[in-house]
Structure 1
Amino acid sequence: MARFRQFVQEHEVKDLYLHGRSFTWSNEREVPTLTRIDRAIASVDWDIMHPDSILQALSSSVSDHAPIHLSLSAAFRPRKRFKFEAFWLNLEGFDEALREAWVCDHSIVDPFRRLDALFRNAAEFFQAWGEKKVGNIKLKIAMANTLILRLDVAQESRVLTPAEAWLRRMLKHAVLGMSSLERTIARQRSRIRWLREGDANTKLFHAVANGRRTKNYIASVRVGEEVATTQERKNEVFTEEYVRLIGAFTIESTL
């Protein structure tokens, strides 16, 4: 056990979050003793490589242990949600884009429905605007590094032309800028407030963001005798419950 603890400490592995159960073992007595002694651990690199993994406990059946099941393809992102990126404020043309996005149909006079329409239109507009302005950061970094590598290899056998040398310098500057932007995005999504602006541990930010998403994931929802497991049905259940609790009150308040 001492060697195992030393291995965990040296390799900085983490305990994967277990969904659905707090304990995995019982002594099967009338007033049972419950503990969690079945676990799965993973490195930060593995966690980043498998962002859609989820660990769940299964039925204990005839045993006193509940087997644990690790899936690598949980449907975390059935539909991409809108996220306002803080760095958009510093991009050229943001003010003009905001004025263009914050519009809705003039026939909507109800203040609540009007605000809802404004937010929806702005979210849809900025989703497309952000993709057009920035695009896929990881893909751009990978493409730039591939070109830099080819120029590095060419430099070993000949002198680069002025155009090739200029391109290599520009690509290196671009990678620095995009890497900084990637850390900014990861920092915003990780919500680690105690980290200073100078900290640049991108793996840590991604690991924390993945951990939050895994912990907040809802695998199933029980509605009466029904157990909703598909994302579409879970969305319907939550929407129906929201309308039942909040929607009716909102409608009455606006009359």
Structure 2
Amino acid sequence: MRVHHLVDSTSDYCAFLVADSIAMQHPRKRRFYFEAMWTRREECREIIKAAWGEGMGLETLNDIVARLKNCADDISRWNKAVFGQVPKKIQSKKNALNNLVLRDRDGSLGSEINDLMDSKEIMWHQRSKVQWMGLGDRNTKNFHSKAFQRKKKNIISRIMDGNGNWCDSNEGVANVAVSYFTKLYTTSHLSRIIEVTNAILTRVSGEMNQDLIKEFTKEEDQRVHYGGS
């Protein structure tokens, strides 16, 4: 059991953290995810342009898949060099701030921590899929005002159909929405579909698929709901 004295760059108060022993975690290979915080750097755009080579040599889907992989690898290497591990960097800066809090005359260290916190906020904002939370809203009144404004904007009072006619009744708005998305997701004029599916890596085997689609039994239902063996 350990007690830590926490120093925060955005507050004059310090908190105590009582921590137990850290559980062991086994490392695992992470999938590539595009981080929204990367778009704050101009180098990101240049790396993507260089990886795709202005779209030259993209005759087949395999070419596109290979180019996507090269682009992801280049961005990952750049991210590791420029950003590294953002949470670890934040903790490192906080540890330094804890030692220099009384000697940080110009406030530069606190500014670095706040910049990294902004990057972390963007990263977890993207992961949480909370689209109504604006960037930069860490515990401020702007958080609530943005949510309220978004709520008002989400009300659809009328909508135009495909023929240019306005519909303002609930049934009319619903019919236009259903018609639009039905047309949008209806497949037509298929071409090169086999080539597309062949370029997708298989994750579920035939045997696994049979297990997934088979009828469940009463015993399985009871085992799931009541914890039976």
> What is the TM-score of this pair, normalised by structure 2?
0.46
> What is the TM-score of this pair, normalised by structure 1?
0.42
